[in-house]
Chains A and B, each alone.
Chain A
Amino acid sequence: QKEVEQNSGPLSVPEGAIASLNCTYSDRGSQSFFWYRQYSGKSPELIMFIYSNGDKEDGRFTAQLNKASQYVSLLIRDSQPSDSATYLCAVSNNDMRFGAGTRLTVKP
């Protein structure tokens, strides 16, 4: 079982829709959770982090964490073609583990 699992996609949504990206993790002691965006051929860039159960909003992005279910998600509202990228989930309990990423395509 992978430590951090993501659906590889591709996930395709129309412009203006909500994109929902999901991530599950196996280490119940995990403390910190991150979402990175990676454009093709580029390095990952941090877009959200969350430490506590519940929702955290930043502009069009909302991270949701449910530690009991070992589940973290990222919602992107009003999706734009520029959001098309691979989204990496990262989970940390003294060391950081990355998922393989979900490829998102936003169609105009």
Chain B
Amino acid sequence: DVKVTQSSRYLVKRTGEKVFLECVQDMDHENMFWYRQDPGLGLRLIYFSYDVKMKEKGDIPEGYSVSREKKERFSLILESASTNQTSMYLCASTINWEFHSNQPQHFGDGTRLSIL
């Protein structure tokens, strides 16, 4: 089974802090994704990566950046946290960029982030 591990289940930070959310997958997947999930809005894509050191903006990249230095690890960074970034953050991975549109995404357990 694919295992996608997010470093924290719950996180509380203060406005203006730099926040790091970590995600690791153990199945050698090429593609990794960061979403946020808010009530009534569903899952919204923040950034994704299809290879080491590669990144692409999703639908809502403003206020976020990402880092993928190793294939198994994809980090989401909130440069200066704001209260409107309070949300559930989900990391996901799929196996291969060329066929990724046909591949289901495997999700981590999520990080519930509160910005005070």
Interface residues of B in 78-107 (CB under 8 A from A): 90, 100-102, 104-107
Q: How far is the CB of B58 from chain A (nearest CB, A)?
A: 8
**CB nearest neighbor in A for B103:** A32
A95 to B41: give the CA distance in the assembly, Å: 18
Alpha-carbon separation in the docked complex, A42 to B106 (Å): 13
- Size category of the B interface is 10 to 19
Question: B-side interface residues toward A, CB under 8 Å?
Answer: 35, 40-43, 45, 90, 100-102, 104-110
Number of A-B residue pairs at CB separation under 8 A: 44
Knowing A88-B42, A100-B41, the reply to whether A42 touches B110 (Cβ < 8 A) is yes
Binds B, one of A43-51, A63-71, A77-85: A43-51
List of B residues within 8 angstroms of A4 by Cβ:
42
In the complex formed, the residue of A with least CB distance to B110 is: A43
